[in-house]
Amino acid sequence: MIEAKNITVKVAQNTLLHDANLTLDCGQLTVILGPNGAGKSTLLKSLCGDIPLTAGQVEYQQLNYHEYDAKQFARMRAVLTQNYDCDFPFTVQEIVEMSHFVHADSTPFTTLQAYSKQAINTLNMSHLINKPFTQLSGGEKQRVQFARVLCQLLPALENQEPCYLLIDEPTASLDLYHQYQVMQLARDIANKGAGVLAVVHDLALAASFADNITMLENGRVVAYGKPDEVLTEAQLAQTYQIKAHILQNVGSLPSLQVAKQALSNA
């Protein structure tokens, strides 16, 4: 379990996150929602250990994350950021295999290679394994990075050890098909036992795949619960200033219905 306990983040005179709490259990997919500037990426970076906390603490498996050394932490949690670029022409295969570093002293090389192949196949990237990363489209780069973090977690998943995947806007740069494919993959990884936390903007995607939703507004957690508990008309009006509701038809994933009048009066 990851627990964020009353965490606050200040940069200069700006408070980016106010006294926030969050719990992420293994086997669950939690989505962080909120308008631009609400503090979504700040919350995720706080949980990753990428930015210092002004107050509060973050615990993994009931230990403060500072109590783990870098390799221990990397074996337990993988992070997919919004933007990851590389100016060197490493191949797709080489990018994915960068995740082997944290396992090289405890896992045979042939096993690591099998994990790479599994991750690449899962993301349908096998036809690109020898292509330089620099020649890929934005969407292809995002999928390669997803394969890399999946490969990083596969040893823990196969050994049924606690592990966590934190992803910041995983559907950025992806077409509609791959948006749903990537969120389904996040769902599948949670089903295999990982705790998955994803920052997304698309409310319908969140409603389609999340077990729980944490909604932020102005750096504060304003709602937490199951999708139908958080994505109410009243909450959407308060947080997004739109008149909207989530529509669920039999045989279809949820969609967002936004009233024209709400947009014209905005």
**For residue range 58-91, what is the model confidence (pLDDT) as tens digits?**
999 999 988 998 888 999 999 988 767 677 889 9
pLDDT bucket at 262, cuts 50 / 70 / 90: low
In degrees and rounded to multiples of 5, residue 212 shows phi and psi of -140, 155
pLDDT bucket at 171, cuts 50 / 70 / 90: confident
The matching CATH number, chosen from 3.40.50.300, 1.10.1740.10, 3.90.105.10, 3.50.30.60, for 2-264 is 3.40.50.300
Query: Which token pair is 133?
Result: 């990363």
Instruction: Reply yes or no on whether the pLDDT at 44 is more than 80.
Output: yes
- Rounded to an integer, the average pLDDT of 245-258 is 88
Centre a 10 Å sphere on the Cβ of residue 148 and count the other Cβ atoms it contains: 23
How many distinct helices (H) and strands (E) make up the chain? 10, 12
Q: For 213-248, how does the pLDDT look when each residue is reduced to its tens digit (9 = 90+)?
A: 999 999 999 999 999 999 999 999 999 998 999 998
DSSP β-bridge partners for residue 2? 24, 60
Sheet with 2-11, side-by-side order of all strands: 14-24, 2-11, 55-60, 63-64
pLDDT at 263: 54
State how far the alpha carbon of 13 is from the alpha carbons of 18, 54, 216, in Å.
13, 12, 20
DSSP 194: -
pTM above 0.85, yes or no: yes
Instruction: Reply yes or no on whether the pLDDT at 193 is more than 80.
Output: yes
Give domain limits for the chain.
2-264
Instruction: Reply yes or no on whether the pLDDT at 265 is more than 60.
Output: no
